[in-house]
Amino acid sequence: MQSGAQAGVAEGRRGTGRAGRRPGGWTRAAVAVCACLAFAMARAQDLPAELSAAWAATGLPESALSVVVEPVDGPRMVSVNAGQPRNPASVMKLVTTFAALDSLGPAHVWRTQLLVEPGTTISADGALSGPLYLRASGDPFFKLEDLWQLLRELRVRGVRRIPELVVDRSVFGPVSIDPGAFDGDPSRPYNASPDAWMVGFGAVRLLFTPDLRNRHWRVTLDPALPGVKVEGGLKWSDNPCPGSPVVQTEPFLTSSGVSLRVAGTVSGGCGEFSLYRLALSQPRHAEAVFRVLWQEMGGSLAGRIREASVPGDAVLFATHDSPSLAEVVRSINKQSNNVMARLLLLTLGAAYEPGPATVASGDRAVDGILAARGLKLPELVLDNGSGLSRDGRISADSLARLLAAAWRSPVMPEFVSSLAISGMDGTVRRRMRDSDAAGLAHLKSGSLRDVRALAGYVLAASGRRYLVVSVVNDERAQQANGFNDKLIAWLAGQ
């Protein structure tokens, strides 16, 4: 399984939302007052002429736009509809990741443990005399190779036969979701459900290899999980490769398990490539991968895999520590990994309230963390913390205040370095490559049906640093991409 960025990076497709939804219980009058105040502010600090022209070229109404621009060490320069609550899509990850860095600290790690009951022995032929317990921690970045290393620790200690595996997921409450609920595409990794024990984001790899002699595409499932198979295939094309291959994948249930039906036409000139797809629920995926890897190591699991709490007197047998929170946040923000952001929010819930964490406890934790920083955001509707939501709401003013607070905080280096660099990496690697802003902006992008957003920091030609927020909510929001890029280039030229 490849690194975390690729398996769950998409910010979300154009899912079906509820028309006319107002944020978190706001009355129509309150929204109208907020809009009027924002409009008054917009008149005082309007867009400069060149940006006004760029916005006019989108054909969108100004009421769809919220913009804030200010130096990190000075007064606000531009403010358009700044107080209007809007859906920021994946820009919402800025809220979750800053709250986590500020409260847990950049060095925080998640620990996955293997334990046994007191007195458990290992026989001469490698059999454990009692069950093996796995205490899950909600590690957002627990990869296939991490599980392999953890199982390798068992083999090093002489274990070959496990009578039973007991998984303790009690750090979280009932947090699973239907992967198809958001946009009807349950195989896409960006829709993955959170789980206390998630292996490789719950995704399987489809490796497509070209057979040049026979003009044929071969597909390999990795890992080869019992009950999961691939059907269909790709048609071969001799045309030049136009870019990233387009492959349709459709999961469906069969009498023996789950099949992924693949279809499409791909040029042989594109060469070998991989796709990641969801096939099983998180618990079933983790358990299947455990069995496959353990068997590959020459081990056996005689009994079943079940869920229960680890006994209070259990003895630690082996452990795996995740990368630091600073590294995890880089994957979340640069690649816009939704399920990692969801798990981070749940981790905050587990850290700040007793009992199994839920989305609600995570939301309360973030409110408390930000309030302690002087960031009271009354309009904030954080929802699941990832931005893959039709209900999430925050204003450009609140995002700007959060960016300003992050810049002044001790975790500023880790927070800023987690953002994608314009024209170079992450979700903005293909944007602004040929503009004066290439390499000069650290940004978080957001994209949903009806939403285009961009926020972060820009280093100007003058050497001054600016923070910027732009959020567009409109059924034609995709037309704002060019405006957002010009906004960043304009700032870089200051």
Q: What is the mean pLDDT of residues 223-250?
A: 94
137 with 95, same domain? no
Kindly tell me if the per-residue pLDDT of 13 is higher than 70: no
CATH number at residue 180: 3.50.80.20
Q: What is the mean pLDDT of residues 205-224?
A: 96
Q: What is the pLDDT of residue 446?
A: 98
Residues in the chain: 494
Q: What is the mean pLDDT of residues 108-120?
A: 98
Rounded to whole angstroms, the Cα distance separating 239 from 102 reads: 51
Kindly tell me if the per-residue pLDDT of 39 is higher than 50: no
406 with 318, same domain? no
Peptide bond into 223 cis (omega under 30): yes
| Banded pLDDT at 253 (limits 50, 70, 90) | confident
123 with 100, same domain? no
Closest to 399 in 3D by CA, of 38, 91, 57: 91
279 with 187, same domain? yes
176 with 304, same domain? yes
Q: What is the mean pLDDT of residues 200-218?
A: 96
Q: What is the pLDDT of residue 103?
A: 98
The DSSP secondary structure of 354-406, one letter per residue, reads SSSB-HHHHHHHHHHHHHHTT---TT-B-TTSSS--SS-BB-HHHHHHHHHHH
Distances (CA, A) of 316 to 135, 157, 166, 417: 10, 13, 14, 36
Closest to 487 in 3D by CA, of 412, 387, 396, 382: 396
More reliable by pLDDT, 339 or 257: 339
Residue 434 domain boundaries: 4-107+325-492
| Banded pLDDT at 254 (limits 50, 70, 90) | confident
Q: What is the pLDDT of residue 27?
A: 43
More reliable by pLDDT, 23 or 269: 269
CATH number at residue 360: 3.40.710.10
| Banded pLDDT at 256 (limits 50, 70, 90) | confident
474 in Cβ contact with 60 (< 8 Å): yes
Q: What is the mean pLDDT of residues 350-367?
A: 97
pTM (2 d.p.): 0.90
Q: What is the mean pLDDT of residues 313-317?
A: 97
Q: What is the pLDDT of residue 7?
A: 42
In whole numbers, what is the pLDDT of the chain averaged over residues? 92
312 with 449, same domain? no
Kindly tell me if the per-residue pLDDT of 184 is higher than 90: yes
Q: What is the mean pLDDT of residues 358-368?
A: 98
442 in Cβ contact with 407 (< 8 Å): no
Q: How many domains does the chain have?
A: 2
Q: What is the mean pLDDT of residues 105-128?
A: 97
Rounded to whole angstroms, the Cα distance separating 422 from 408 reads: 22
Tokens of 9: 């990076």
Rounded to whole angstroms, the Cα distance separating 206 from 486 reads: 38
User: If you search the block for the tokens 């867009």, which residue do you land on?
Assistant: 47
149 with 164, same domain? yes
177 in Cβ contact with 339 (< 8 Å): no
214 with 116, same domain? yes
273 in Cβ contact with 209 (< 8 Å): no
231 with 280, same domain? yes
- Of 295, 322, 349, the position where a domain reaches its end is 322
Kindly tell me if the per-residue pLDDT of 458 is higher than 80: yes
Q: What is the pLDDT of residue 29?
A: 40
Q: What is the pLDDT of residue 36?
A: 41
Kindly tell me if the per-residue pLDDT of 139 is higher than 90: yes
| Banded pLDDT at 293 (limits 50, 70, 90) | very high
| Banded pLDDT at 436 (limits 50, 70, 90) | confident
- Of 290, 322, 354, the position where a domain reaches its end is 322
Kindly tell me if the per-residue pLDDT of 334 is higher than 80: yes
331 with 445, same domain? yes
Kindly tell me if the per-residue pLDDT of 149 is higher than 50: yes
92 with 127, same domain? no
Q: What is the pLDDT of residue 366?
A: 98
User: If you search the block for the tokens 């618990």, which residue do you land on?
Assistant: 283
According to DSSP, the β-strands at 273-278 and 315-321 are unpaired
According to DSSP, the β-strands at 248-254 and 235-237 are unpaired
Least confident residue range of 21-35, 204-218, 249-263: 21-35
Q: What is the mean pLDDT of residues 112-124?
A: 97
Taking the CA atoms of 1, 192, 8 and 3 in sequence, report the sign of the dihedral they define.
Answer: negative
Least confident residue range of 103-107, 127-131, 152-156, 432-436: 432-436
Q: What is the pLDDT of residue 445?
A: 98
Rounded to whole angstroms, the Cα distance separating 5 from 463 reads: 32
Q: What is the mean pLDDT of residues 23-30?
A: 42
154 with 59, same domain? no
- Of 322, 351, 372, the position where a domain reaches its end is 322
